[in-house]
Structure 1
């Protein structure tokens, strides 16, 4: 396994899927708040939930997750493990990662809702893939 690919067994896949669900729950809780700071936190956690779900799918289907500086590699791996439509959710989420994690601009509720929705769809797709 290369340094960019980290092998995953069934236990690791289960942990990442539980991470995805827990983070999505947290994002939805923060999204319900009235403060733009809560929405920023919701958006940031949504990105993390999507990455965890992607790791679970890739680990389940491919036997590894991507651990690289470029999230494009993770999107490519998810496209291989699932479908382009599933990978599109991750693509949107990782495109927002820097802004949400390191930026100093607060998102609107609508912007945060959009990211939480992408995370929810990716987590749901991942759960379905892991069940099959």
Structure 2
């Protein structure tokens, strides 16, 4: 990933976070679903930015376990970012393809995981 690519993914992560924060305040489950979906996408973008800045690459594929391993490598010895990414991608299918289990509390937990990833991303990119 180039420095430009890292900045684009950083901006994506921040935008997904801001949108998720707005939508979670709505009273409609469909908005919570969209907020959660944005949180998932934001987490992937933040992970890409971190990995791109530290390793010069990001995960490009459907195996989210591999994305977590790459993020763990980029943030070693801190495994918390990988835990937050896993929390997000574990809910990807539920929030993007089936909203049967979507709750306000669950959506808030996803947004918290994204906030932590964005904080780590900002620390990595500033340091």
1:78-123: per-residue Cα shift (whole Å, max 9, x none)? 0000121111100100100011111141511101000011011111
1:37-75: per-residue Cα shift (whole Å, max 9, x none)? 111110010000000000000000000011012011100
Tell me which of 70, 74, 82 is aligned to 1:87.
Answer: 82
Q: TM-score, normalised by structure 1?
A: 0.92
Q: TM-score, normalised by structure 2?
A: 0.96
Decide which structure has greater strand share: 1
Gaps of 5+ in 1: 1-7
Q: How far off its partner does 1:124 sit?
A: 1.0
Secondary structure of 1:66's match? coil
Aligned counterpart, 1:24: 17
Tell me which of 87, 108, 129 is aligned to 2:124.
Answer: 129
Aligned counterpart, 1:99: 94
Q: Hey, which bits of structure 1, 4+ residues long, moved more than 4 A?
A: none
Secondary structure of 2:91's match? helix
